[in-house]
Amino acid sequence: MTDSELLALARDTAHDIADEAALRRIYANGPGETSLAKVADHVHALYRPYIEAAPFAVLATVGEHGLDTSPRGDAPGFVVVADEKTLLLPDRRGNQRIDSLRNIARDPRIALLFLIPGCGEALRVNGTARISASPSLAARFTVQGQLPATVLVISVASVFFQCARAVKRSRLWQAAAQFVPGALPSPGAILQTLGRGSVDGVQYDAELQGRQARTLY
């Protein structure tokens, strides 16, 4: 199949699903017992170790013009389980776009997907968040003498694990499946092209590793 043929099929709306009833006809078996039994309305004692072991999470927020996702990462346990209904997520140094924070200021609904290297299962958390600029709270998350600008205080609504099928299919944690450095367009090349020459891509790439090392926190 050619790319144009594939695109034509994708643009054909004759088979689009527009309501849940139509979905149920396709997924007629419904969720299995285990898919429902795993859901907790709090951070269960069996789920807490997943959060404490995770060095990486994806934060989803609801924006004025759509949805956003943003990576969050630090040493394992960087998201603190304050109690079974409360998580604390420090906002480390980044690109200052504050997309997620602006969204939360308008709409507190959030979701988190925790990933643990080498673990097939992921952990999903849904809830709401508020943004705290408390210096005392930020001090709890001091790393290398640096405080986060703000801390998300997350109220947990649901927690459940996601089975390992997606991770297994993607071979996510297998070294043989990882990209070779340089196989993708570099950040500098992207910025030079999309910035229409306003950024020297070669210089940007040459300085990137050092700049990131100096500004992690």
Question: Can you state the angle between helices 201-214 and 187-194, rounded to 10 degrees?
Answer: 130
pLDDT confidence of residue 182: 86
The fraction of the chain above a pLDDT of 90, given in percent, is 92
Is 30's pLDDT higher than 90? no
Res 186: pLDDT: 95
Could you tell me if 154 and 128 are in contact, meaning their C-beta atoms sit under 8 angstroms apart? yes
What is residue 63's three-state secondary structure?
A: strand
- 54-75 residue pLDDT tens: 999 999 999 998 999 999 999 9
Ordered domains of the chain (ranges, CATH): 33-169 (2.30.110.10), 179-214 (no CATH)
From residue 90, alpha-carbon distances to 2, 71, 94, 140 in Å are 47, 12, 12, 9
Rounded to an integer, what is the distance from CA 4 to the centroid of its chain? Answer: 32
12, pLDDT greater than 90: yes
197 band by pLDDT with thresholds 50, 70 and 90:
confident
Cβ-count burial 8-40 (b if 16+ within 10 Å, e if not): eeeeeeeeeeeeeeeeeeeeeeeeeeeeeebeb
pLDDT digits (tens, 9 = 90+) for 155-190: 999 999 999 999 999 999 999 999 888 899 999 999
Query: What is the SS3 assignment for 135?
Result: helix
- Residue 212 has what pLDDT? 93
| pLDDT single digits (tens) 83-109 | 999 999 999 998 999 999 999 999 999
pLDDT in tens, 118-147: 999 999 999 999 999 999 999 999 999 999
| Residue given tokens 């673990």 in the structure block | 119
